[in-house]
Homo-oligomer: A and B are copies of this chain.
Amino acid sequence: MRLSKRMKKMEDKELLRLMEFAADPEMISFAGGFPSPETYPLEEIRESFLAVLESYGQEALSYSSTSGFLPLRGKIANRMNNKYKTSLTEDEVIITSGSQQALDMSGMLFIDKGDMVLCETPSYLGALNIFKAYGAEFLEVPTDSDGIIPEALEEKVREYGDRIKLAYVIPDFQNPTCRCWTAERRKDFMSVIKHYDIAVLEDSAYSDIAYDEMDRPPLISLDENGQVINCGSFSKIFCPGFRVAWICTKKQMIEKYMLLKPSIDLSSSSINQRMIDMYLEKFSLDKHICQIIELYRKRRDLALKTMEEYFPETVRFNRPKGGLFAWIQLPEGKNARELLELALKKKVAFVPGGSFYSKNGKENEFRMNYSNMSEEKIVKGIKALGEILTVFLK
């Protein structure tokens, strides 16, 4: 059978492979971007589910409205407003089936073949992959540990002008590098971009997983022209199995997303939306998030300490202030894909960094998730990786 031309660009099986690593119980996988299942509040979910069936009966099992369950949209808007001094209403929120769907819909909404998507270097491979499917070319903007460099941004948007329709950025604890833009860089970014007719897709999937206090206003709170589309998710702060996430943006733009949603999956799961709404009604999500953060902070500290102890000195890594990942740099000229093949033989997995570059990937980096493995496995896996590295870097 003849497939579409875009399938040639979809052959990067990296995400698929991550999922497979996760399924092998013997693997110590630092590969996924998964939260830790032990944090999922089983009892509270049971109670919320029973309350949903009690309160809504069969209605909870029907199709949802296209934009999603109204009370949940209201709660998401309120939460944003309380945290970030935005003034969102429930009409400025649409529910999506995971935030990956928000990325897919954004690709469908904005990108024609040959359009440019401006992004950080490196960036989230799941976003790069779906934007490629819509024919995007990528304009990588030089990025340092404080975020996108404003002078470089200015230069790029001036040079490529009208060809850029979308900027995709992850200011909070970015996937894969875990860097967090400074408040100043956020303001600088908006003050450059506001002069151009470019939509800004702000991916906030990791925003709530912060280990330190920092001033980091989301771009949507600095938006003067209604340019910013902010997407967030319950996957990392609650449970990914419900597939409930959201987009916040001006009503006019929400209406465009609503034109797509029926053609993509009709609506998101009605019962799952109500379940999360009921949980938010009955329990404190913020308290739950605090507990998650404590656990992940411990694992981050343990992972860093163990890497310091067992990784060769020429291997460099950052100290993430939030999120689920550490970003590791091998000496120049060394290839993380080759390292992965050696590691897999010892049942340790991670994601080579090259996949996170839209083009001309640097091959000497890799991403390590520390949230999903037990303390014991973190130590065991990093020790094993240290031994492999010592030989590999000789």
Contacts and interface: CB of A to CB of B under 8 A. Distances in A.
17 contacts: A3-B110, A4-B134, A7-B256, A16-B262, A37-B58, A37-B59, A40-B61, A40-B62, A42-B57, A100-B265, A108-B133, A129-B262, A240-B266, A241-B269, A242-B269, A243-B267, A269-B272
A272 to B, nearest CB: 6
Given A58-B42, A108-B133, A259-B11, A63 B19 contact: yes
* A59, A65, A115, A260 — most chain B CB neighbours (10 Å): A260
A19 B62 contact: no
A15 interface: yes
Interface string A268-312: 111110000000000000000000000000000000000000000
Interface residues of A, number: 81
Binding site of A, secondary structure by majority: helix, strand, loop or mixed? helix
Contact of A265 (B23, B58, B101, B111): B101
Contact of A263 (B112, B126, B262): B126
A63 B241 contact: yes
B271 A4 contact: no
A130 interface: yes
Contact of A264 (B38, B130, B262): B130
Interface stretch (A46-54, A86-94, A319-327, A381-389): A46-54
Interface in A105-155: 108-113, 115, 126, 129-130, 133-134
Nearest to A227: B1
Count of identical protomers in the assembly: 2
Nearest to A132: B263
A258 interface: yes
A5 B37 CA distance: 42
B100 A262 contact: yes
Given A3-B109, A4-B112, A16 B259 contact: yes
Given A53-B46, A263-B133, A19 B100 contact: no
Contact of A4 (B97, B108, B241): B108
Interface string A1-44: 11111110011010110011011000000001010011010100
Given A19-B66, A98-B266, 8 more contacts: A4-B134, A5-B112, A19-B65, A45-B61, A61-B239, A98-B265, A100-B262, A243-B269
Interface of A: 1-7, 10-11, 13, 15-16, 19-20, 22-23, 32, 34, 37-38, 40, 42, 45-46, 49-50, 53, 57-66, 97-98, 100-101, 104, 108-113, 115, 126, 129-130, 133-134, 165, 197-199, 227, 235, 239-243, 253, 256, 258-260, 262-272
Contacts of A34: 62-63
A-B pairs, top 5 by smallest CB distance, nearest first, are A241-B270, A37-B58, A15-B262, A61-B239, A61-B241
A271 B273 CA distance: 13
